[in-house]
Structure 1
Amino acid sequence: MMFLLSVRLYFFIIFNLFFFVKCNQLSVDSFDSIINPDIIIKNCTIGELCSGTINSTSIHYYSVQYSFNPITAIRLTTNMKYNVTQNAPILVVVRQIRGVVSWTLPYAFSNGMIYSSVTRILCIHNEVNRTRPHTSTVFIEISTSNVDLIDYSIQLDNTTEYLLETDVKQSFTISPATPVYYKFVFPSHINNIFIEVQSQDDLCAVVSVQSFDCPVYDVGEIGFRQGHYQTMSKSASFNVYSSEFTKRNEFLLVFLVKPTDADCLDYKETAIIQPAGVVDVERRKNITVILSSLSYSKYLYVTIFLTVGIYSLIYVFAFLIMCRQPDTYDRLAPDQLSLLEARTERELAEHQNNRQSLETSEGEENVIASRMNDYEREESAVEVIETSGTGFVTVNDLCTKDYEYLKQKFRIYPQTMITIAIFYSLPVIQLVLQYQINIDSIGNEDICYFNFLCARQFAMLAAFNNVFSNIGYCALGLLFFIIVYRR
């Protein structure tokens, strides 16, 4: 009996030791496989659907050769079989000569929106600064830290709808996980291009004009902060000049749908958190873009000279009326003029004698002077009634004051008007210049609330016509100032 118990205890101890050593070995092997995963090199060709299964024990490398052509681009589409129980995503890294781009599968946004498929256009045009066809290679790395196997697939295709031409409409579809960009090269005879983007959908998108360099920022918040950009729901427009791209006479036009419409609304919508397991939410936007080479510079000059000419004619017409209309003193009869001159001389003499005879303090002088002015006004009004000869007083009779007296009174008016003009115009000028500097420095054209379809750039102002439209207020205000001074 004791012997059997001893044998059982012996086998129990041996089994536990073996199980412990085996488990320890498995954990060590698993840890080593994560630290030093197996590298598997695979080949893939253009147009071929390459699929595989991966976990944390291996890394898959794809070497894809392609024939480079300046008028085409390479589109890479990556897919994975999403499972809500997965605790780690797949990392896709694309290595090129001029840059490295990467993204995860599934591709997740801040509001929880998840996409199991991501499509990117590879920036390969200027990787070696060539314009002739040649053969090149792109390397794609697929890896994950997930211990469970995940199915994935990749496919590279040539896209010929890559170059934009003037006066040719280009229609396409974009989504948050499928950004699109196009290239435009300035012809030698064109210095500026007007870009018009239209859509029938209300989804919020971002349109960005970027300099052509690799990598292209077309995914995430980085893509929203490159070059000049606008948010759009149904329309957007840009004025692009070749002088803005001194390095290369070309640029990229990047399109991307945002995960929510908050940036295109007057109010901030509440972010909708997607429930677990919901992937590939439909947010597709159809866009049409057209580039126009019509130069509006000559029309802008015509508009400027025509507007200035119209206001110049108004000035000439006003001056002719003022020159043909006699002065107030010229319209007075000789007897009225003699009475007015005599009364004015008497008033001035009395006023001078009173000022010399008053020797009081400064405050008392002001009080007395004010009372004397009131008395003079009353006396003048009585004399005007007596000299009018009609029995009643008109505004014209009350305005028959001495020129020097009116000139002294009028000096207060221009000083006040100039002060008000400076006080109100300087902040406006500062605001216009500050907004223009911000647009040129950070590229955010959403900070200006005007219609870009109607905006016309001139000199350093992106919307010169909006500023020039205020010339009427200035011209007519100055004319009113001159008329008041003349009277």
Structure 2
Amino acid sequence: MVNVLSDQKETPLLFVVRQKEAVVSFQVPLILRGLFQRKYLYQNVSRTLCQPQTKSEWETQFFYVDVSTLSGQNASYQLRVAHIGNTPPPAPDTHAALHLVPPSPHPPAPSHELAVQESWGARCPVYDLDNNVAFIGMYQTMTKKAAITVQKKDFPSNSFYVVVVVKTEDEACGGSLPYYPLAKGMGVWAEVYVSAMLFCLGIFLSFYLLTLLIVLPCALAERSLENVASRPRLDSLSSVEEDDYDTLADIDSDKNVIRTKQYLYVADLARKDKRVLRKKYQIYFWNIATIAVFYALPVVQLVITYQTVVNVTGNQDICYYNFLCAHPLGALSAFNNILSNLGYVLLGLLFLLIILQREINYNRALMRKDLQALECGIPKHFGLFYAMGTALMMEGLLSACYHVCPNYTNFQFDTSFMYMIAGLCMLKLYQKRHPDINASAYSAYACLAIIIFFSVIGVVFGKGNMMFWIFFSIIHIIATLLLSTQLYYMGRWKFDSGILRRIVHVLYTDCIHQCSGPMYVVSDAAYGLIVQPNDFASYLLAIGICNLLLYFAFYIIMKLRSGERIKLIPLLCIIFTSVVWGFALFFFFQGLSTWQKTPAESRQHNRDCILLSFFDDHDIWHFLSSIAMFGSFLVLLTLDDDLDCVQRDKIYVF
């Protein structure tokens, strides 16, 4: 035990204790750091020295204490050495429970830490300070009670030390945090933060203003036409009259009849009651809203825990930030990466408002029995659009959660709703021309859940595992063939003796005759099997995005081949979105950090801020990709506006 009697705050005394197999050093006053790097000075310091093993119990052991200081004045201190006669407890035969309880009556209960450490050999010296008691062995924080289960296998030397350390602060065991005023000189920083926030809000609120300027004149024009008489019903040009069908009871048998026609029109696949389909597609929105709540709550809780661990331990290797452009705010280490996700939320909300306005106008047209709304254009179903807008908002929330502490264990948070968005967009494209036979919400989300499951498995077990890649490639090809068969026969196929013949027919028509879908699938699966990318989640997401882009290109080509046209607004959206996607991908591939490497290797990719001295390349990716997704949604929404005056029995199915 050392007690320094003179004032040595500026020039502490340094004690070095040299033993046969260990060296212990400490300074007095001793400086310990608590939560959030707060400093505490101690004038009285005690250290426990362990006795190394000896060849005989009569062997004399020596230790030496060296004392030094840089002080120009004489220093006064007291040094006392005492022998502790208690021997370490013997290790149990298998396991035992160690209980620690205070005497009665209970004294005040400061925060303690109880530790069990191996006592001999390489475990010398004893770790008995607040800042090192957790280095080895097992430990628990405690106030009045604690219990640790001790197992023989954890103590090869057959003995252990029990160490109890009083914590520097009570917050570790639930005490209140003291108030600390903000440091001086925050004015400049506050100005930078406010400018960055206003910049984000200004960019995305301008889309609200632009939408209002476009929608308001249209809404006024729509209201002025409400009293105009509806036009007469046009003669049906379809080879099969709608009135010949009971659209609820006989719809399944009708599919077999319609399937024999050489050319299909939207009227042939839009025979179900609108109320039935409306409820069917509304389930997409309610399901994704439910998924979002139950998915997001534990995610938020987990990333808060990650950030707390970083703040308390000071371990900067836990999270893979761009440290050269990481602006903290409160407990958050990289607030800029979180703020830049605001666009997903705001633009997702704007898209929901646009869909709501369209649905209100459409319902008004139905109420006044407008034949154009009843019989013309692509059938209007808004449930999938609502689901897409919700998914975009959730992508922003979960991406922000991921960037609280980016690492490989929570990367799935950043990609899960990207899978949702890609899947919902493909479903919406298919629904446009196949409203009666589109997948139900339950089966669609079940398939997306399987994809997310494979994403998690691939991240954990996929790296360098050939068996996993073989298994995944087989599943990928089989699932694609089954889906192709489902789409080709429009759901009218069964597992029977002719299933192989039908699959071969699909392969011939789609792969050999037209050289389309399955060739891409096989080549994509072969690429994954041969290259085995380290980032399996991004590889799986790339598959979904490529499929969506191919399907979208196919839809536009078939639309133009069918004699349809693209109006000015969707054409401008396509051009604008394509340009923004190009710039967004450029910033995405800058790679400012990567959890596929060690923290030190990841920091080699770090770069300085490039926008407002606050945002880095990845933040700009967030800005641009949110705008590009919003534009892509608008393309899907407005792409078939040219058909609003065309009867459904003239609109081709493809």
TM-score (norm 1): 0.37
Structure number with higher helix proportion: 2
Higher Rg: 1
Q: Normalised by the size of structure 2, how large is the TM-score?
A: 0.29
